[in-house]
Chain A
Amino acid sequence: MSSRRVSWKNVVFSAAALVALVLLIVESPLGMDGPSKAAGVVLVIAATLWITEVVPLFVTSLVVLFCCLVWVRPVLEQSGNPVEATKFLAPFFSDIILLFLGGFVLSSALHKYQLDHRIALAIITRTGRSIPRLLFGVMLLTACLSMWLSNTATAATMLALCLPFIRSLPPNDRYRQALLLGIAFAANLGGLGTPIGSPPNAIALQYMRQAGLAPQFWMWMLIGVPGVVVMLTLTWALLLYLFRGQQREVEVAADQPVNGLNKRSWIVIGGTLVTIAGWMTTESHGYSAGTVALVPLVLFFGLKILSVEDLRALSWDVLLLMGGGGCLGVAIDLSGLDDWIIGNIPLHDSSVFTVMVAFGLLAIVMSSVMSNTATANLLLPIVMGLAISSVTPVMIGVAFACSLAMPLPISTPPNAMAFGTGELKTIDMLKPGLVIAVVGAMLAFSTGYWWWDIVGLF
């Protein structure tokens, strides 16, 4: 296994090194000027490192920043377009990063005071013992939590909670696989629902905001939540069809005792509700979503609901990963590489719809084998450069496509977790994962597109 992975990485590396070398040696490859050549090499380096993961994903972001500061910026200056270094640094602490940081803080507080666990337990014990009903309840709950918590945290919480009763089913019962896959897939799908549900959404929002095209928080939910509900129902039916077990009922024992709510838990609940309300009403109060995200940060750390250890334990690596995408986007934009790419792909005269389908399919293929966030980081700046009248649906379509790709254990962390239980074979995940990706993309490009038009997205 490992030797095969090494050789696969070698192939990608050799190809990328060759491309980068050609770009470097040739004076103006395919009509590129100096700055776009520099940005092109940085793009090839970033893509290679993000696809192969030879260094941690966030390190690649820092490599991008380093290359931009020591190479792209001087080249831009030489070509008569001086750029402030802060242009490249800004994406690492933008309004959207702050929004995401707020999401992590909510996630951390809800987890620390076991509110995620408590909600999950309360609902699971009420879904009844019939397995199809329990599966739907578990999936709906996972998706709802994953709209507000990270997909990883949601999947970990739900798997830890559900594994005891999944393991209480007979060893050969196919419902075991259905429940495990249901949790993983629902955690991925739930990310579509809100701007903070998954990093690709936030990255898309960041670019749309720069262009003055960003939908409001509630508007995103109006687009995303119906998609989540439809995809969840289809996935549930598909899993029941593919993994029909023998046992009809399961004993759900609430074996983990949960303490009563204390004052701190109530502050967390109140702070969370206020923050969400603030995000939904940015239009009426006029503060940005990132500004609203300061509320839980100040409240929870100020009142010592969360400690400095909790602050250190936040997923800063994910924020750096998102920042690297923004930085790459700045380089692609300022160097004119986006214009060069658009001029060289035969899509620039196509309709919005064709562009969305092309990039959506590319996003599904890429995010099936690599990180969703890294995929969004590579594709969205190019989409943003497209000179089409309505870029918003394309951005959203590509962001959604990133969350729809889940055929392999390595496609997303929730998949890796479900697979790590040892109950699944790759083919168990591949079959439903491929169907979800294809059906999801088709729905987004048909009903979804029509729905986005109705709600006034474009």
Chain B
Amino acid sequence: MEVHIQKCQECQSTDVCNMLVSEPGQPQTVYVKCASCGQLVARFLLSDYYHHGKGIESWLRSLGPAAFESGRDFHDEFSRVQTAALTGFEAACRRLEEQKQVEPP
């Protein structure tokens, strides 16, 4: 696993701001803007958005016209997304700490 902290290419600031754009029928788009100099840092598309703490509500919104056939399946899928978000976040934080210790800035 490789973990990076997003940095502005213009001013090297790590102070960035995410702008989440939803358009009907399109995957959600995130524009990352530098909070220091205002430049565009990155753009990425989201296929599956999970908003922690807002749980199922935001997930239902991103679900689309899919047809599930099993109640268990639906429940398992949501648990998987929730757990994956939390464990992924923790793993990334841990990895970042390790990277910092190996190569101090």
Interface residues of A (CB under 8 A from B): 53, 56-58, 104, 107-108, 110-114, 149-153, 156, 159-160, 163, 199, 259, 313, 315, 317-318, 321, 370-374, 408-413, 415-417, 419-422
Measured CB to CB, the closest approach of chain A to B71, in angstroms, equals 4
Q: Is B105 located at the chain interface by the 8 A CB criterion?
A: no
Whether the pair A160, B60 counts as a contact (CB closer than 8 A) is yes
Interfacial chain A residues near B75, Cβ < 8 Å: 409-410, 416, 419-420
Whether the pair B64, A417 counts as a contact (CB closer than 8 A) is no
Whether the pair A153, B56 counts as a contact (CB closer than 8 A) is no
Whether the pair B73, A56 counts as a contact (CB closer than 8 A) is yes
Whether the pair A420, B56 counts as a contact (CB closer than 8 A) is yes
From known contacts A104-B67, A152-B68, infer whether A53 and B73 are also in contact, taking CB-CB under 8 Å.
yes
Q: Is B88 located at the chain interface by the 8 A CB criterion?
A: no
Whether the pair A371, B70 counts as a contact (CB closer than 8 A) is yes
Interfacial chain B residues near A413, Cβ < 8 Å: 68-71, 73-74
From known contacts A113-B25, A412-B71, A413-B74, infer whether A149 and B65 are also in contact, taking CB-CB under 8 Å.
yes
Measured CB to CB, the closest approach of chain A to B9, in angstroms, equals 30
A-contacting residues, B53-105, CB 8 Å: 55-57, 60-61, 63-75, 78
Whether the pair B61, A160 counts as a contact (CB closer than 8 A) is yes
* Chain A residue at minimal CB-CB distance from B82: A420
Whether the pair A416, B57 counts as a contact (CB closer than 8 A) is no
Interfacial chain A residues near B74, Cβ < 8 Å: 152, 413, 416-417, 420
| Residue in B55, B56, B65 whose beta carbon sits within 8 Å of that of A111 in the complex | B65
* Chain A residue at minimal CB-CB distance from B26: A112
CA A120 – CA B21 in complex, angstroms?
Answer: 22
From known contacts A113-B24, A409-B71, A420-B78, infer whether A153 and B57 are also in contact, taking CB-CB under 8 Å.
no
CA A454 – CA B57 in complex, angstroms?
Answer: 45
A interface, over-half SS: helix
How many residues on chain B are close to A (CB under 8 Å)? 21
Interfacial chain A residues near B61, Cβ < 8 Å: 156, 160
CA A409 – CA B79 in complex, angstroms?
Answer: 14
From known contacts A160-B57, A160-B60, infer whether A57 and B65 are also in contact, taking CB-CB under 8 Å.
no
Query: Could you show 8 A-B contacts with beta carbons less than 8 Å apart?
Result: A57-B69, A104-B67, A163-B60, A313-B66, A317-B69, A371-B70, A413-B73, A420-B56
| Residue in A159, A160, A416 whose beta carbon sits within 8 Å of that of B71 in the complex | A416
Interfacial chain B residues near A373, Cβ < 8 Å: 69
| Residue in A56, A153, A410, A411 whose beta carbon sits within 8 Å of that of B65 in the complex | A153
Interfacial chain A residues near B60, Cβ < 8 Å: 156, 159-160, 163, 417
Measured CB to CB, the closest approach of chain A to B24, in angstroms, equals 4
Per-position contact with A for B16-44: 1 when CB-CB < 8 Å, else 0?
00000000110000000000000000000
From known contacts A112-B25, A410-B72, A420-B75, infer whether A152 and B56 are also in contact, taking CB-CB under 8 Å.
no
Measured CB to CB, the closest approach of chain B to A178, in angstroms, equals 18
Whether the pair B65, A421 counts as a contact (CB closer than 8 A) is no
Query: Most chain-A CB neighbours within 10 Å: which of B57, B74, B78?
Result: B74
Interfacial chain A residues near B67, Cβ < 8 Å: 104, 107, 150-153, 315, 318
Interfacial chain A residues near B24, Cβ < 8 Å: 112-114, 259
* Chain B residue at minimal CB-CB distance from A53: B72
CA A112 – CA B60 in complex, angstroms?
Answer: 15
* Chain B residue at minimal CB-CB distance from A155: B60
Besides A410-B71, A421-B56, 4 more A-B contacts (Cβ < 8 Å) are A156-B60, A160-B57, A321-B69, A409-B75
